[in-house]
Amino acid sequence: MAQTLYEKYGGFKTISRVVMSFYEMALESDQIGDYFEDIDMPRLIDHQTKFVSSLIGGPASFSDDRIKAVHSHLNITHADFDEMAALFGEALEMHGVSAQDIQTALGAIENKRSIIVVRHAA
Amino acid sequence: MSIHAINEQLLRAIGVGVAIVRASDLKFVFHNGPFSEWFGTPEKKQTLLDLIPDLDLRELDDVKQSGLRYSVELQIKPKRRTLVFAVTVSLTNELSDQLLIVECQNITRIRELESMIDSYSTMVERNTRELEREKERVERLLLNVMPRAVYEEFKTFGVVTPQLYKEVSVVMLDFVGFTDFAAKTDPTVTLSELNDIFTAFDRIVEQFGCERIKTIGDAYLAVSGMPDATPDHATSVAHCAVRFLRYLERRNESHPHKWQARIGLGMGAAVGSVVGIQKYVYDVFGPAVNTAARLQVFANPMHIVAPEEMKYALIDEFQVSDIGRVAIKGMGDMDLINVTSGLSVTQGSGRI
């Protein structure tokens, strides 16, 4: 079985740092920060932890249906999605993930674009 | 630099938000950088409650009277990120005025990390439970192909050492005309018939403390005396054998296909081990197994044949009759006996 990024970068040790960085960046971002504004902190952290873990092969996975269900009412645009992917890439880079592995992780996100972004949004 | 100046310098330099207010009107005497960064810079007329409205006025009064500290955890949301502070208010009487010292520690990161660990450990625990269930499934599967004692050895040491059992008995059963049946019947029917019968056999085998080793096509092989030694291994396999036949007789009465089986018994030494590395098969080898296999071929349909050495072990509980000396392929001349159930003689003598 191929080694996941999760194993390669030391599991929870790295996840926790990426989650914290990503959480801060997402809230700071004027593009996507508003989506998170009214969510209380523990719930938002929970969301980010699962998000990061599942993307780099840690102990979480979501069905596409579930991802679609939780995002559908948010009217997420392609620009939002791009920003989120960019921030996630940055967070990974900050914690020493190689450029190639970041591409892999971003590829995993890209696969979900069609179920996260609303169809009519520009 | 005076001590006073040094103290003030220190208060400004530390990462804890510090403010000093007059106890009488809660107006600010001093505040440091972190404090104004988090709660805003107090203007002249503003009181502590203007900047931190979440503080409880009654608690502050209580501090003034009792001199006890008041500690509280507050949340503010200057932008989108929720900040969490541990605020402690204490009283000092050392100066002419009564003053309240307000210390604010930023514990946002601690709370965030706690939330993350909660979330993460929930995920990990769920995964662990799933793995646990998976492990149980694998264990059940492995227990189907090897006896528990062997499985325990395999689990602990990663290998199974072949082990010689000096005194075991073997029962081997094979159906008459199975090849013909299989050729002219739908394979799924064949399979479900075999499955049905072998499941019943497994129950019988379990009831008499034997181990089913394997089925090879339509042949069924079980042993007694391994991996746990038992003194009555011979009678155990004979009990199984007569019940196999009785089960088939009963089943034939209500099923379209009338199954006929031959059974051979064997007694002696056998070696048991797991064979293979990727595909585990627990198997037995040895004279007892060979004898049972050969005698099963020799047996007439719906009869049980055993070597003469088993006679004295079986004679008390079974009906035993001598067959005499017979040349058995690969084994030479052997003295054989025919075994029938003590019960079936009185109940079903008409059938024999």
Digit-coded pLDDT (tens) for B47-98: 988 888 888 888 888 888 888 889 999 988 877 888 899 999 999 877 677 8
Give me the pLDDT at residue B347, please. Answer: 45
Closest chain B residue by Cα to residue A29:
B80
Q: According to the model, what pLDDT value does residue B163 have?
A: 83
What is the pLDDT averaged over residues B223-237?
Answer: 88
Backbone φ and ψ of B144, nearest 5°: -75, -25
- Mean pLDDT, residues B95-123 taken together: 87
pLDDT, residue B1, reads: 67
Question: How many Å lie between the alpha carbon of B164 and the closest alpha carbon of chain A?
Answer: 38
- Residues in A closer than 8 angstroms to B83, CB to CB, are none
The model's pTM is: 0.61
CB-CB under 8 Å, A24 with B81: yes
* B117: closest chain A residue by CA: A16
Tell me the two tokens of residue B9.
Answer: 């310098």
Instruction: Name every chain B residue with its beta carbon within 8 A of the beta carbon of A58.
Output: 123
Tokens representing A24 are: 């801060």
**How many angstroms separate the CA atoms of B352 and B349, rounded?**
6
Instruction: Check pLDDT > 50 for residue B350.
Output: no
| B116/A20 CB distance under 8 A | yes
In three state form, how does the secondary structure of chain B look? CCHHHHHHHHHHHCCCEEEEEECCCCEEEEECHHHHHHHCCCCCCCEHHHHCCCCCHHHHHHHHHHCCCEEEEEEECCCCCCEEEEEEEEEECCCCCCEEEEEEEECHHHHHHHHHHHHHHHHHHHHHHHHHHHHHHHHHHHHHHCCHHHHHHHHHHCCCCCEEEEEEEEEEEEECCHHHHHHHCCHHHHHHHHHHHHHHHHHHHHHCCCEEEEEECCEEEEEECCCCCCCCHHHHHHHHHHHHHHHHHHHHHHCCCCCCEEEEEEEEEEEEEEECCCCCEEEEECHHHHHHHHHHHHCCCCEEEEEHHHHHHHCCCEEEEEEEEEEECCCEEEEEEEEEEHHHHHHCHHHC
What are the contacts of B27-31 at 24+ separation with CB within 8 A? B29/B99
From the list A16, A28, A37, which residue is nearest B116 (CB)?
A: A16
Contact A19 B116 (CB under 8 A): yes
Task: For residues B283-308, give the mean pLDDT.
Answer: 89
Per-residue model confidence (pLDDT) at position B279: 64
pLDDT surpasses 90 at B238: yes
Query: With 70 as the cut, is the pLDDT of residue B323 above it?
Result: yes
Residue A121 is predicted with a pLDDT of 46
Residue B146 has pLDDT above 90, yes or no: no
Find residue B85's DSSP bridge partners.
B74, B106
Q: Which two tokens stand for residue B25?
A: 């009107």
Q: What pLDDT was estimated at residue B345?
A: 45
At residue B322, what is the residue type?
Answer: D
How high is the mean pLDDT of chain B?
86
B173-225: pLDDT as tens digits: 999 888 888 888 888 888 888 889 999 999 999 999 888 888 887 889 999 98
Residue B280 pLDDT: 67
State how far residue B243 is from chain A, nearest Cα, in angstroms: 48
Give the A-side interface with B, CB within 8 Å: 12, 15-16, 19-20, 23-24, 27-28, 33-34, 36-37, 40-42, 45-46, 48-50, 53, 58-60
* pLDDT tens by residue, A9-39: 877 788 888 888 888 888 888 888 888 887 8
**What ipTM does the predicted assembly reach?**
0.79
In three-state secondary structure terms, B133 is helix
- Please compute the mean of the pLDDT values over residues B230-243 and round it to a whole number: 92
Secondary element (H or E) of residue B113: helix B108-145
- Report the share of chain B in percent with pLDDT over 90: 26
How many residues can be counted in chain B? 352
Band the pLDDT of A51: cuts 50, 70, 90: confident
Confidence of residue B104 (pLDDT cuts 50, 70, 90): very high
pLDDT for the residue B346:
44
